[in-house]
Structure 1
Amino acid sequence: MSQVLHTPPPIQAPPADEDLSALAARHGLTVSGARPSLPAYVRQLWDRRHFITAFATAKLTAQYSQAKLGQVWQVMTPLLNAAVYYFIFGVLLGTKQHVPDYIPFLVTGVFIWTFTQSSIMAGTRAIAGNLGLVRALHFPRAALPISFALQQLQQLMFSMAALIVILLCFGVPVSASWLLVIPALLLQSVFNTGVSMIVARMGAKTPDIAQLMPFVLRTWMYVSGVMWSIDRITKSDDLPHIVLVLLQTNPAAVYIDLMRYALIDSFHANQLPPHVWPVALGWALVAGVGGFIYFWKAEETYGRG
Structure 2
Amino acid sequence: MSETTQDAVAPRATVSPDQQLTAAQLAAKYGLAVSGARPSLAEYARQLWGRRHFILAFSQAKLTAQYSQAKLGQLWQVVTPLLNAGVYYFIFGVILHANRGLPQNVYFPFLVTGVFVFTFTQSSIMSGVRAISGNLGLVRALHFPRASLPISFALQQLQQLLFSMIVLFVVTIAFGSYPGLSWFLILPVLALQFLFNTGLALIVARMGAKTPDLAQLLPFILRTWMYLSGVMFSISHLLAGRSELFIRAMQANPAAVYMDLMRFALIDGYGASNLPPHVWALALFWAVTVSIGGFVYFWKAEERYGRG
| TM-score (normalizing by structure 1) | 0.93
- 1:69 aligned to 2:86? no
- Flag as ranges the 4+ runs of structure 1 deviating above 3 A: 10-15
Distance 2:49 2:169 in 1: 33
1:220 paired residue number: 225
Q: If you compute each CA radius of gyration, which structure gives the higher value, 1 or 2?
A: 2
Question: Which residue is 2:6 aligned to?
Answer: none
Instruction: Give the secondary structure class of the aligned counterpart of 1:113.
Output: helix
Do 2:235 and 2:247's aligned partners in 1 also have CA atoms closer than 8 Å? no
Task: Give 1:14 deviation, angstroms.
Answer: 4.9
Separation (CA, whole Å) in 1 of partners of 2:143 and 2:76: 34
Q: Are 1:146 and 2:151 counterparts?
A: yes
> Is structure 2 residue 193 aligned with structure 1 residue 188?
yes
Q: After the TM superposition, which residues 84-123 of structure 1 pair with which residues of structure 2 at under 5 Å, given as runs?
A: 84-100=87-103, 101-123=106-128
CA RMSD of aligned residues (A): 1.6
What residue identity is the alignment partner of 2:260? Answer: D
2: CA distance, partners of 1:146 / 1:84:
31
CA drift at 1:97: 3.7
What is the one-letter code of the residue matched to 1:291? Answer: G
Mapping of residues 221-260 of structure 1, within 5 Å = 221-237=226-242, 239=243, 241=245, 243-260=246-263
Are the structure 2 counterparts of residues 77 and 11 from structure 1 closer, same or farther at C-alpha, using a change threshold of 3 Å?
farther
Identity level (%): 66
State the Cα deviation string for residues 47-102 of structure 1 (Å, max 9, x = none). 11110000000000000000011111000000010011011111111112431311
User: Is the CA contact 2:100–2:234 (under 8 Å) kept in the aligned structure 1?
Assistant: no
**Structure 2 unaligned residues grouped into runs of 5+:** 1-13
Output the CA distance in 2 between the equivalents of 1:85 and 1:300. 44
Checking the alignment, whether the CA contact within 8 Å between 1:194 and 1:290 is kept in structure 2 is: yes
The CA distance in 1 between the partners of 2:191 and 2:179, in whole Å, is 21
Which region of structure 1 is more displaced relative to structure 2, 89-98 or 74-83? 89-98
- For the residue of structure 2 that corresponds to 1:236, the secondary structure is coil
Give the Cα separation in 2 of the matches to 1:82 and 1:245. Answer: 26
Post-superposition CA distance 1:244-287 (Å, at most 9, x none): 33302100000000000000010000110111000000000110
Letter in 1 for 2:302: E
Q: Counterpart amino acid of 1:278?
A: A
Aligned residues: 293
Contact 2:48 2:145 in 1 (8 A): yes
Equivalent AA in structure 2 for residue 32 of structure 1: S
Pick closer, same or farther for the CA change 1:97–1:248 going to 2, 3 Å: closer
**What letter is aligned with 1:137?**
L
Aligned to 2:168: 163
Deviation, structure 1 residue 211: 0.6
* 1:248/1:274 contact within 8 Å kept: no
How far apart, CA to CA, are the structure 2 residues paired with 1:246 and 1:115? 22
The answer for the alignment partner of 1:126 in structure 2 is: 131
The answer (yes or no) to whether the contact 2:258–2:283 under 8 Å persists in 1 is: yes
1:33 to 33, 36, 54: 36
